[in-house]
Chains A and B, each alone.
Chain A
Amino acid sequence: MSDVKKFMYLNRRAPYGAIYAWESLEVVLIGAAFDQEVSLMFVDDGVYQLVKGSDTSESDMKNFMPTYRTLGDYGVRHMFVDKASLEARGLTQDDLIEVAWEDWETEEEVDNIVELVETDQAAQLLSDSDVVFSF
């Protein structure tokens, strides 16, 4: 077994209605210190976590949406979105935030690591992971 594992965080919950999305994000942030290969997968209501335009000013809840935009700085390399879940909710990639990524050593840059995937591809990505975190 190699020292680096492929971590997949499987997100299937909408934000705000329950704390799962926010506390899951906290795991990703803390996990950055462990230098594993980290990807996130958004399925079902989990796709709502990435929708632009969240305003919690009238709800007195912590707005954690800006944190998603910083995930590229926390070692997250891929944020996969199940296309079928997105389409079922009347959404397109234009409705989702963009997350940039840069490798500080190689200066390799990616403008947006949020990527729509088909079911077969998502299944393969989940299968290829060493650990799947569910919340």
Chain B
Amino acid sequence: MKLSVQVNEGPYQHQASDTAYHFTKAALEKGHDVFRVFFYHDGVLNGTRLTTPPQDDRNIVNRWVELAEKYDLDLVLCVAAAQRRGIVDDGEAERNGKDATNIAPKFRISGLGQLIEAAIQSDRLVVFGD
């Protein structure tokens, strides 16, 4: 089965990104093809490398990065949502004159069309949110 995952909430605030992570990991371990994980609304906050949780807690951002490294996952942050919430990569920094970037490795910023494409290409779209 080819599936895509949509994450609507930021890490820590809501359990949605935890559930999305565990679901995605389970799907990959069962051999399914995860076409894309698309982060929307506050979900884009899953993609900042500046996250510093307490040492005795899970690192939600690093978990995504490690999963992406292991399975070559496509982690996409919605550009409009990312701009509103201050998630910046090199391209966005240059385009919008920002003095820093904060995007985590393995994540990329792209348009909402990536979500639509994922819905068209995949057998299932699974949404996690608040």
Contact = CB atoms under 8 A, between A and B. Distances in A.
Interface in A10-39: 19-20, 23, 26-27, 30-31, 33-34, 36
Interface of A: 5, 7, 19-20, 23, 26-27, 30-31, 33-34, 36, 131-135
A19 B113 CA distance: 19
Contact of B127 (A26, A34, A36, A134): A134
Nearest to B119: A131
Q: Which of A7, A23, A26 has the most CB of B within 10 A?
A: A23
Contacts of B64: none
A27 B41 CA distance: 11
18 contacts: A20-B41, A23-B41, A23-B80, A26-B112, A27-B116, A30-B116, A31-B113, A34-B113, A34-B116, A36-B116, A36-B120, A131-B119, A131-B125, A132-B125, A132-B127, A134-B129, A135-B8, A135-B127
A23 B112 CA distance: 10
A123 to B, nearest CB: 18
B5 interface: no
Interface in B114-130: 115-117, 119-120, 125, 127, 129
Contacts, number: 45
Nearest to A23: B41
A7 B120 CA distance: 9
B43 to A, nearest CB: 10
A5 B129 CA distance: 23
Nearest to B120: A5
Interface residues of B, number: 17
A19 B129 CA distance: 13
Contacts of A23: 40-41, 80-81
B8 A27 contact: no
Given A135-B8, A135-B129, A30 B120 contact: no
Nearest to A1: B123
Nearest to A31: B116
Given A27-B112, A33-B113, A135-B41, 13 more contacts: A5-B120, A7-B119, A26-B80, A27-B40, A27-B115, A31-B113, A34-B117, A34-B120, A36-B116, A131-B125, A132-B125, A132-B127, A133-B119
B111 interface: yes
B119 A5 contact: yes
